[in-house]
Copies of this chain bind each other. A is one copy, B any other.
Amino acid sequence: MRQMKKNDLNIGIIGLGYVGLPLASKMSELYNTIGFDINSKRVLQLKKGLDINFELRKENLIQRNLSFTDNISNLKKCNIYIIAVPTPILKSKLPNLKMLKHACKLVGSLLNINDIVIFESTVYPGTTEEICIPILEKVSKIDCKSDLITNKKSFGCGYSPERVNPGDTKREISDIVKITSGNDKKTSKIVDKLYKSIIKAGTFNVKSIKIAEAAKIIENTQRDINIALINEFAMILNKININTNDVLNAAKTKWNFLDFHPGLVGGHCIGVDPYYLAYKAKVLGVKPKLVLSGRTVNDEMSKYCALRFKDGLLQKSIKVKNARIIIFGFTFKENCKDIRNTGVLKLVSELKNLGIKPEVFDPIADLDNKKIYNNVTFIKKLNLNYYDGAILAVKHHYFLKNFKINKIKSYLKSKNFIFDLKNFFSSKIVDDQL
């Protein structure tokens, strides 16, 4: 669709997770939209109006112009494809572009002249032009670049990074400015116009796809580094025997101090994206010192917390070996069901390495697919006077509302150690805080 007429637009969205699903719902307010996901179970749930991420309600899913499918051939009629698949990392911390490449192959097989393919997945700068477009061209046998001399027909390609904030119910997709870009001016303009039509907060059109890719990856890297820095402060301040929060509260009284907090860093964005940037930097011969230092610090936090908890037990003369402890919270982020890439998983295994026996309590977490986490003992009901200690790991509103300190203490033996990673309580009523 190199000219954009509203009724002619058929939008196909590839990937129906945190990014694709709200986008599909929003797009369908104005355009015919079909959402595709390879996960048939997810598609079935969505057809029934159920989003297990709780990002969208039934009325957002059951709409006249919106349909869902796990059959890619149902997207044949589409002329705008938006790819919003996950871009995780491999065990080696290198970019895992498998899903992105697969999505390109699927879309390439459907692509027609003048169609536009837009990418929303977070990638290192250059991915769209160096990896995605070549796959689309190869599979579709159509070029992306127009040739004005031969008047050879082409498809268009855009990049508009997702800025979804899982668990943030205040900022919906339409409230967040969207960066737009395209492989040529004409495509860029159409991509921009498309998003402008659905984003209340407006768009920010940039000169090239690479700029749009870079803007997204530096946003998340900046956040990762800033949390890592506070984590490093927390490690130093603990050795000085002062409470991190006391120091942060004082520093915050300066107008330009940045309000970050220590903690475990997990999830699909800030714990992952810096590795994409680092990968590209290394390929180009730039050593990403700071970017990787930040990752190292944050990756080591689970181990650090486990060791500090062990020290706490010892200080209170609680036997470490076989100590039974309860961890409050398992998801990668507060008020969010998602447990993928959670830092708590690593915390559990680090505690186990020390001979401690942790159990996890998280009524918010989506534990449906437990098998990946089969080394973790999840419990639904807490026993009284049972545990040697507690780690308060994820600050769900649910915990703050339902678990006051005395209730938490009721599950613990009289001699216990409480390590509060996320400032659930005042430092006076817990044994240690990060």
Contact = CB atoms under 8 A, between A and B. Distances in A.
Contacts of A243: 211
Interface string A216-230: 101101110110110
Interface string A262-303: 000000000000000100110011101111011011000000
A237 B214 contact: yes
B284 A236 contact: yes
Interface stretch (A6-14, A252-260, A340-348, A373-381): A252-260
A54 interface: no
A218 B239 contact: no
A337 to B, nearest CB: 23
A246 B177 contact: no
A211 B240 CA distance: 10
A223 B286 contact: no
* Total copies of the chain: 2
Contact of A247 (B218, B237, B241, B289): B218
A386 interface: no
Contacts of A179: 250, 253
Contacts of A212: 250
A204 to B, nearest CB: 4
Nearest to A215: B250
12 contacts: A125-B237, A125-B242, A179-B250, A206-B250, A207-B246, A214-B240, A216-B251, A222-B226, A228-B290, A236-B281, A258-B258, A290-B297
Contact of A251 (B207, B218, B228, B251): B218
A284 B239 contact: yes
B206 A240 contact: no
Contacts of A211: 242-243, 246-247, 250
A251 B219 contact: yes
Given A210-B242, A226-B226, A240-B126, A232 B288 contact: yes
B240 A229 contact: no
B206 A246 contact: yes
A226 B229 CA distance: 10
Interface in A296-345: 296-297
A163 interface: yes
A361 interface: no
A237 B215 CA distance: 10
Nearest to A214: B247
A246 B210 CA distance: 10
Contacts of A226: 222, 225-226, 258
A177 B253 contact: yes
A246 to B, nearest CB: 5
A257 B125 contact: no
B284 A223 contact: no
Contacts of A257: 219, 222
Interface string A61-95: 00000000000000000000000000000000000
A174 interface: no
A257 to B, nearest CB: 5
B229 A286 contact: no
Nearest to A175: B255
Could you say which of A218, A235, A281 has the most chain B C-beta atoms within 10 Å of its C-beta? A218
Nearest to A126: B240
A240 B125 contact: yes
